Structure 1
Amino acid sequence: MRLGPKLLGVAAVATLALTACADAPSEEKDGGGDYAAGGVTLDAKPDKIVSLSATATEMLFAIDAGDQVEAVDSTSNYPKDAPKTDLDAFNPNVESIAGYEPDLVVVSHDQEGIRDKLKEAKIPTYYAPAAASLDDSYEQIEDLGALTGHRKDAKKLTGDIESEIDTMVEQLPSREDKPTVYYELDDDHYTLTSDTFAGSLLKKAGLVNIADGVEGAEETGGYPKLTGEFILSENPDFVFATGGQTVKDVTGRQGWDSLEAVKKKQVYSLDADVSSRWGPRVVDLMRDITDAVAKSK
């Protein structure tokens, strides 16, 4: 059957409309109409997010969900335009949080039983604990992407991070003997093992962690305290200080001038914020580590 001119016009308009709907960017296309991840399901795209995690704040802004963030806690100092408040992530108050009328709260700690309290207040809460691996970080980024309607942005971000880190590792010189490393969290010699997030980066960079296998490391969740004597006896090739200690602070300690790391000038002070978070700036941390390894003696 042949269509007359009038019916042909109607059909053409309908086809154009369907094509436009298919091609137009929308929340439905990105979020699939389903804002759910990590055990949280939202009825609609959240536009009053409260972040009680400095890392989650960085993730949210990196996936282009920053304009949906209503308030962030006092430790969320990056990016600078994040709506920083005096909310305390380590001593959270449910009434203060609820005052922002959030449709999603993101936490990395369960201090004061805040997750149960937020649940009682019927406030949707996504839990993003400290990552133990890059895969954990990627999962949290993509969960936040799903919850905020930015799935594509989140997927692109994790892909970019993975690609950049893989490239850094591939460009490292091959070595028969792997250098050893001591990663200092503070001047009391607390450190971490390869079973932690930053520890996994050291391993990926081809470094052998002197804290791996020390007595009590597993019981501390991979964050043992070492003694100065043990560090000196292990004589690491690299020292990375992350708790605000300067290179001079480390190299000036009594007896530490005997360390290979000091002799070879392979002691580095890393940014305390970047090195303690597991968000998008992990690329910066990995670059600091791989740059040090690449130019080592």
Structure 2
Amino acid sequence: MSGSRRPAPLALLAALLGVLALAGCATRDEQAPAPQADSAFPVQVQAEGAPAITVERRPQRIVSLSPAATETLYAVGAGEQVVAVDSASTFPADAPKSELSGLTLDPEAIAAKSPDLVVVSADLDGKLAAALGTTGIATLVLPDAPTLEAAYAQFALVGTATGHRAEGEDLARRTREDIDKIVADTPKPPAPLRYYHELDPSYYSVTSATFIGEVYGRFGLVNIADGGDPNAAGGYPQLSAETIVQANPSLIFLADGVCCGQTAETVAARPGWAAIDAVRDGGVVTVNDDIASRWSPRVTDFARAVSDAVAGA
């Protein structure tokens, strides 16, 4: 035909591959949101109970001195930006553990890691932020989350601060929905169950005024450590063996299995404890020490453990 030619086969193939490539990219973009663009910075972030800070640009070298924050950083997709974590950060296993401590903050040792963002759970009088600020290093304080909602807010905040806003917001949403579903799907006992949560063999426990206590409360459990004031001792009272035996809880949760080797057998061997309903009826549950003490995305694992215990009681 005059005035037109059939495209060469190679040209057709190239055009087809180009269309397929574009389609593939579109699909990937829908499934995994792209990291927050550098143009989204600077951003101001502030956790409940902590000072506001401005993150000037997308951090490339992050030091985490909080085990809960370490887990959250990896969960929002910022793991590749993390260059060092504190010695207590045990999850994920491949996190770059260092000699740094979140309890004894050493500005010089932290600065030696050349971070542009440092995440801590506490900064007394802002001394660390002041010291690191002189070298242009931002310090983000993420205090112990007092409630589940505060934890969800921190997930979103970590995403925003690290250039993963969409992932952080999605993590917060999914965690909230997962816990709501776990609670809703758990069979409700005929009467509220009493429980004791053990932090160590010296009978330190938690009250319902704590983050951990709120998780139990979502299942309608009654905390024997509350006494007359759940806020006493900052929510972490030390009980006596006599008090626990007399309270006769239906469920005992041991968060000292890893640290202190406590099991259903060691509990049953304690003087007088064999008569407790939880011991007699198989209601002693060992929960991972870390999962039961961190306001991290793995709180869903803790909620499942509580759900299983309630369902089996």
For the criterion TM > 0.5, the same-fold answer is yes
| Contact in 1 for aligned 2:189/2:310 (Cα 8 Å) | no
Alignment of 1:140-151 (within 5 A): 140-151=154-165
| Contact in 2 for aligned 1:182/1:239 (Cα 8 Å) | yes
Q: Give the deviation of 1:26 after TM superposition.
A: 5.8
How far apart, CA to CA, are the structure 2 residues paired with 1:26 and 1:252? 55
How far apart, CA to CA, are the structure 1 residues paired with 2:36 and 2:188? 47
Q: Secondary structure at the match of 1:87?
A: coil
Q: Secondary structure at the match of 1:213?
A: coil
How far apart, CA to CA, are the structure 2 residues paired with 1:31 and 1:192? 44
* 1:35 alignment partner, one of 35, 38, 43: 43
Give the stretch that moved more between structures: 30-39 or 137-146. 30-39
What amino acid is the match of 2:56? D
1:187-243 CA-to-partner distances (Å, cap 9, x unmatched) read 11000111101100000012100111346x524210011111111111000000102
Q: Secondary structure at the match of 1:274?
A: coil
* 1:177 alignment partner, one of 191, 216, 239: 191
Alignment of 1:137-286 (within 5 A): 137-214=151-228, 218-244=231-257, 245-286=262-303
Q: Secondary structure at the match of 2:249?
A: coil
Q: Secondary structure at the match of 1:135?
A: helix
Q: Give the deviation of 1:27 after TM superposition.
A: 5.2
What amino acid is the match of 1:208? V
What amino acid is the match of 1:92? L
| Contact in 2 for aligned 1:63/1:154 (Cα 8 Å) | yes
How far apart, CA to CA, are the structure 2 residues paired with 1:190 and 1:120? 41
What amino acid is the match of 1:124? A
How far apart, CA to CA, are the structure 1 residues paired with 2:187 and 2:69? 34
Aligned pairs, number:
273
How far apart, CA to CA, are the structure 2 residues paired with 1:275 and 1:26? 32
How far apart, CA to CA, are the structure 2 residues paired with 1:279 and 1:26? 23
Asked if 1:57 corresponds to 2:62, the answer is: no
Q: Give the deviation of 1:91 after TM superposition.
A: 1.3
Residue number in structure 2 paired with 1:82: 95
How far apart, CA to CA, are the structure 2 residues paired with 1:28 and 1:125? 20
Question: Unmatched 5+ residue regions in structure 2?
Answer: 1-25, 47-51
Identity %: 40
| Contact in 1 for aligned 2:36/2:165 (Cα 8 Å) | no
